[in-house]
Structure 1
Amino acid sequence: MTDTLPPETFQWPAILLAGDVDYNLYQRFRTQLVAAPREGIVVTELSTLGGDPEVARMMGEDIRFHSDTNTACRYVFLGKATVYSAGATFMSFFARENRYLTRGTRLMIHERKMDKSLHVVGPLTNCVASVKALLHELEHSIRIQNEGFDALAIGSSLTGDDLKARAPENWYLEAQEARDLGLIEGVI
């Protein structure tokens, strides 16, 4: 178990990100990750209202890879002001003892959303194939979403099922509540 980090650890984050989680944010993240120290504590600070969950997963996989391959570094997350949606997905890739929020930060956890129309027209077998393709997309997206909930719950007093039950209603948590539930290590 790692000790809770003191506030001065977070004064000069190596990676500073704010805004929508999208491919532009990913490029800024990668540029800063490449320039980050190769040993010691590497803080990633994020403030976001959300965005693309697949981009958040790409960023998270980069953190997971670097954490696994560079044991000289401790990769730490600091959420600032708002960590909504895809931001919470990204945070889930950090070990619970490496997750921090600033005072008053709000965390929001919700289900993935889809906005898609299905227009069924043509030969019946093609219609069935189109419907099945959309169903498979939904089922796979739910599995990915639930993997994120399970990862976020590790080390907390909650289970992935607890998060899944609260997610459809957009669950907002203040930093202290997130700490009390064990979703994060500390509040700065």
Structure 2
Amino acid sequence: MAEPNQYPLLAAPHVHLSGPVDQTMYQRFREQLANAPAEGTLVIAISTLGGDPESARLMGDEVRLLRDYTGRETLFLGKVAVYSAGATFMAHFPVEKRFLTKGTRIMIHERQLTTDIHLSGPLKSLPAQLKAKLNEIEESIRIEEEGFHDLVAGSRIGFEEAAERARANWYIEAEEARDLGLVLDVI
């Protein structure tokens, strides 16, 4: 575990996010980002049991744009629980910019879908309805795989292993995440 004085910026994050990842969290993220110092390293902390993966991707894309277009260093700090959509958000930070607090756990799983298919209308329209649902599923799988690739990029875990372990809700303790290279350090 890192010494307290090794990463002093992590003691006072500029953006604090907790609760479900959703549009409300995204709005809080945008407000805190707007109120953060305009220069220097930006620290973003999150604790979440999960939520909407698209909201997580949206926040992550905001971080990526900030980093890519301003050159600003952005650090991720996971606290207590970084589950599901929280891990999706974490994947938008390079592994050398990711940190977890002691005792934090990450949970990675496959995207979930619960749906009923109700076919209604002229017979010739029904195949299109089924194809539309299949397209939705296939695109969601592609997005999930992109996220797994981003999550493990630069770590000692391969995509195939991450995808396989995610099928059974993969819980990773902070020290294990560090040892696997998913985060730089535990504070």
Same fold (TM over 0.5): yes
Give the corresponding residue for 1:185. Answer: 184
Give the corresponding residue for 2:156. Answer: 157
Give the corresponding residue for 1:6. Answer: 6
Give the corresponding residue for 2:145. Answer: 146
Q: How does 1:17-166 map to 2 (within 5 A)?
A: 17-71=17-71, 73-166=72-165
In structure 1, distance between residues paired with 2:6 and 2:142 = 36
> Identity over the aligned pairs, expressed in percent?
51
1:145-180 alpha-carbon deviations (Å, 9 max, x no partner): 100000011110111221111111100000000010
1:9-59 alpha-carbon deviations (Å, 9 max, x no partner): 211110001000011100000011112222221100000000000000000
> Do 1:151 and 1:160's aligned partners in 2 also have CA atoms closer than 8 Å?
no
Query: Is the partner of 1:169 in helix, strand or coil?
Result: coil
1:90-124 alpha-carbon deviations (Å, 9 max, x no partner): 00001111000000100000011111110123322
Query: CA shift at 1:6, angstroms?
Result: 2.1
Query: Is the partner of 2:20 in helix, strand or coil?
Result: coil
Query: Is the partner of 1:26 in helix, strand or coil?
Result: helix
In structure 1, distance between residues paired with 2:6 and 2:64 = 23
In structure 1, distance between residues paired with 2:85 and 2:125 = 34
Runs of 4 or more, structure 1, over 6 Å off, are: none
> Do 1:84 and 1:109's aligned partners in 2 also have CA atoms closer than 8 Å?
yes
In structure 2, distance between residues paired with 1:125 and 1:101 = 54
In structure 1, distance between residues paired with 2:114 and 2:77 = 31
1:37-83 alpha-carbon deviations (Å, 9 max, x no partner): 22221100000000000000000000000000111x21000000000
Query: Is the partner of 1:77 in helix, strand or coil?
Result: strand
In structure 2, distance between residues paired with 1:13 and 1:59 = 16
Structure 1: 5+ residue runs without aligned partners? none
Structure 2: 5+ residue runs without aligned partners? none
TM-score of the superposed pair, with normalisation by structure 1:
0.94
